Amino acid sequence: MLITHAATSDKITYMDILRQGLKVTDLTAVSLCKDNNLPMIIFNMNQPGNIRRVVLGEKVGSLVTA
């Protein structure tokens, strides 16, 4: 399953998400971040403490870059 690939990768590119049609986040948001060179972190918001960990800069989820 493609979503599993994104969830288990440390890094993934915007183009990988767009080309593969991954449903990890809104594709418009991915396009806007890509166009403006903004990094994105995809992580499980349902796991307690993950939002805090991301905000504090801990390695959680997948980093999406150009």
pLDDT tens for residues 14-44? 999 989 888 888 889 999 999 999 999 999 8
Residue range 34-57: average pLDDT?
A: 93
Q: How sure is the predictor about 10, in pLDDT bands with cuts at 50, 70 and 90? A: confident
Kindly give the pairing relationship between strand 11-13 and strand 62-65. parallel
User: What's the pLDDT score for residue 2?
Assistant: 37
Residue range 48-65: average pLDDT?
A: 93
Rounded alpha-carbon distances, angstroms, from residue 53 to 32, 40, 45, 47: 24, 15, 11, 11
Residue among 7, 2, 1 nearest 60 (CA): 7
Residue among 64, 53, 60 nearest 20 (CA): 64
Residue range 3-15: average pLDDT?
A: 70
DSSP 18: H
